Copies of this chain bind each other. A is one copy, B any other.
Amino acid sequence: MSITYREVKADILRQITQGELAPGSSMPNEVDLAASYGCARATVNRAMRELADDGIIERRRKAGTRVRLNPIRQVRLNIPIVGQEIEELGAAYRYALVHGQAEPAPNWLRARMALKRDDRVLHLTCMHYADGAPYQHEDRWINLGALPEAEQHDFSDIGPNEWLVSTVPFTDAQISFHAVQADATFADYLDCTEGDALFQAERMTWLEGQTITFVQLTYRRGHRLTMQY
Contact = CB atoms under 8 A, between A and B. Distances in A.
Interface of A: 16-17, 23, 56, 70-81, 165-166, 169-170, 172-181, 195-200, 222-229
Nearest to A84: B70
A9 to B, nearest CB: 14
B71 A78 contact: no
Given A79-B229, A195-B181, A197-B198, A71 B169 contact: yes
A223 B175 contact: no
Contacts of A81: 70
Contacts of A175: 75, 226-227, 229
Contacts of A17: 170
Contacts of A71: 165, 169-170
A228 B166 CA distance: 21
B77 A77 contact: yes
Given A17-B170, A172-B228, A180-B197, 12 more contacts: A16-B170, A70-B81, A71-B170, A73-B80, A75-B77, A172-B229, A173-B229, A176-B226, A178-B223, A178-B225, A179-B197, A179-B198
A199 B181 contact: no
A4 B216 CA distance: 40
A224 B173 contact: no
B79 A74 contact: yes
A51 to B, nearest CB: 12
List 3 A-B pairs, minimum CB-CB distance, nearest first: A179-B179, A197-B197, A179-B197
A179 B165 contact: no
A71 to B, nearest CB: 6
Contact of A224 (B56, B177, B198): B177
Given A76-B75, A76-B76, A222-B178, A70 B199 contact: no
Nearest to A53: B53
B228 A174 contact: yes
Contacts of A228: 172-174
Among A76, A80, A177, residue most surrounded by chain B Cβ atoms (within 10 Å): A177
